[in-house]
Structures are given as structure tokens and as C-alpha cells.
Amino acid sequence: MNEEMRRKILALLEQHRIMTIATLRPDGWPQATTVGYANEGLTLYFLCDPKSQKAENLARDDRVSLTIDHDASQIMEITGLSMAARAKAVTEQAEAEKVLGLLSRKYPEQVSLTGPMPDPGDVRIFRVTPTVISVLDYSKGFGHTDLVTS
């Protein structure tokens, strides 16, 4: 991947805070859910309840597809990205604490939760590593995408 494309992907990741992630249910159907995320470079992190369907799906099959984008008032202003990736549970305490810090910085205006920030042991934290990234930029033409493999 060239440096210009890397900067564009990183800018899109920094501009947004939610993604739609699709995991595979036991019956083979995809399950798409919206989650908050933080990133460190091209690596994304999200957390969920350890008993959630998403966590159960990922315990069985770590393949995911995700999208990150926003609403645009003009069709030709649509930008975003999608990824094919692998999601692995974070198991080391130091990495888990780092991720919670990244999420806190991603949401600086968050003044309170219904409870305290979750403890790493109370949630399942996933590290998402992309294998293919598709960068969508309609300003280059209707439906224009640049495909990047990592």
C-alpha cells in the first residue's frame, strides 16, 4: 500500500467512531451490528459482552466484514471504507488496558456512563486486523473504490 492511500485510510479511521461489523452466525447467516471502535494505525479494537452473539460467533469463526462511513447530503460526497479482516480476542491485560485508554480518548466528551468504565475482565475486547481494505470515494466517480491488501 502506498503512503498516500495509508494516510487516506488512517484519516477515515480517525474521522469516525462507529462501525458496522458482520460476523457469521452458527447457521451461516451474517449478523451485522454497530459498535464503537478505536484504532492504533490500521488495527481496530472494539469490545462487547462476553456472552453476546457476536462474541460467540467470533469464538467459532474469526472472519469479519466491516464498514466505516457517514451520511452525506450529496451522493458524490460519499466516502468510507470496508474491510475483510480477522478479529481475535485480546487476552493480555496490558493490551486490554491500552485499548480501554484508546476508547476513552476516542470519546473525550463522554462525561458519564450508566456505570463505571468496564474492567477488562468484564468485557470481551477484540483486535481486528484487516486483510483487504476497500476505500470508497465517490468524488473520483460514482461508486469508485480502491482495493488495498495488507
DSSP letter for each residue of 124-141: EEEEEEEEEEEEEEGGGS
On whether the CB atoms of residues 125 and 110 are closer than 8 A, the answer is no
pLDDT per residue as tens, the chain (150 positions): 899 999 999 999 999 999 999 999 999 999 999 999 999 999 999 999 999 999 999 999 999 999 999 888 888 988 899 999 999 999 999 999 899 889 888 887 765 555 555 666 678 999 999 999 999 989 898 989 888 987
How much is the pTM?
0.88
Sign of CA dihedral 8, 2, 95, 59: positive
The candidate with the shortest Cα–Cα distance to 45, out of 116, 119, 124, is: 124
Three-state secondary-structure class, residue 93: helix
